[in-house]
A and B are shown apart, each in its own frame.
Chain A
């Protein structure tokens, strides 16, 4: 009986792996209408994205309908830039996003205000600041 259960489990995993492989690599033409609508900024480069990148993008398309119109606009604006980041940058952004999520609402608001102020600094000043701290591993948790 145990052997049968193990066999059933393995079969299930194999089926999932096959299904995932198929779903990870759809070409642009294979996407459904709603996926194409969300991922429209990536239409030109979709077919040259790696399978794992496509999978991540499809995850974004899956979560998209759960968002407010404002959030959806932000996603559309940022999608292309996001897809062109290196895996290292994306992973780093995910970690810091998690840290940001853990901040109190007040700290989040303060950080957003600071980001707006930072954006208003002259580019030369920002560049100088970047040279001061070339290590992007600095986390938001360090700023608490």
Chain B
């Protein structure tokens, strides 16, 4: 591992040395080539078709509004949790609410009459 790193460093050092000693006309040609490449890339970006670029468009929109979108997602999560909690506790009694107890075939008195339980045990 160390040997590989050393080897890479050596390559970088030699490349740097070579770059420093490039002839001015070579440097000029490289600069021009780079400029052309950048121009071509910029042109390709601006000519990207609308449909194909939808994802890229959404991606760039997300990157630009990352902070506010994350906040919106967080608030949505808080709201969702709140609604679910309300349903599961509080008012969300479902078929177990007092209304269903009162509507049960057995009246509430049956649940509370100790004599009924004594009698059941005797049966």
A contact residues vs B (CB 8 Å cutoff) = 1-2, 4-5, 8-9, 12-13, 16, 56, 59-64, 67, 71-72, 74-75, 78-79, 81-82, 85, 89-90, 92-94, 96-98, 100-101, 108, 111-112, 114-115, 118, 121, 126-130, 132-136, 138, 140, 142-143
Say whether B61 faces chain A, with CB atoms less than 8 Å apart.
Answer: no
Docked CA distance A21–B22 (Å): 81
* Least CB separation from B110: chain A residue: A115
Complex interface: chain B residues within 8 A of A60 (CB):
97-99, 102
Interface members, chain B 93-123 (any A CB < 8 Å): 93, 96-123
Q: Contacts A78-B108, A93-B101, A100-B106 known; A138 to B75 CB distance under 8 Å?
A: no
Q: Are A138 and B108 in contact (CB under 8 A)?
A: no
Per-position binary interface string of chain B over residues 15-41, scored 1 when its CB falls under 8 Å from any chain A CB and 0 otherwise? 000000000000000000000000000
Complex alpha-carbon distance, A114 and B120, angstroms: 8
B43 at the interface (CB under 8 A from A): no
Chain B residues contacting A9 (CB-CB under 8 Å) are 78, 82
The secondary-structure label for the interface of chain B is: helix
> Top 4 closest A-B pairs, CB basis?
A129-B115, A71-B103, A63-B99, A130-B115
Measured CB to CB, the closest approach of chain A to B19, in angstroms, equals: 45
A1 neighbours in B (Cβ, 8 Å) = 67, 70-71, 74
Please state if B99 and A129 are interface contacts (CB–CB under 8 Å): no
B56 close to A (CB within 8 Å): no
Task: Tell me, in angstroms, the Cα distance from A8 to B109 when the chains sit together.
Answer: 46
Choose one: B100, B102, B115; the contact of A118 (CB below 8 Å).
Answer: B115
**Is the Cβ of B102 less than 8 Å from the Cβ of A78?**
yes
A114 to B103, CA, bound (A): 18
B108 cross-chain contacts in A, Cβ below 8 A: 78, 81-82, 85, 90, 93, 97
Q: Are A126 and B115 in contact (CB under 8 A)?
A: yes
Chain B residues with Cβ below 8 Å from A115 are 106, 110, 116
Please name 22 pairs of A and B residues whose Cβ atoms are closer than 8 Å in the assembled complex, sorted by A. A4-B71, A8-B78, A9-B78, A59-B93, A62-B99, A63-B93, A63-B100, A72-B103, A74-B102, A82-B98, A97-B101, A100-B104, A101-B96, A115-B116, A118-B120, A121-B119, A126-B119, A128-B115, A129-B119, A129-B122, A134-B114, A135-B114
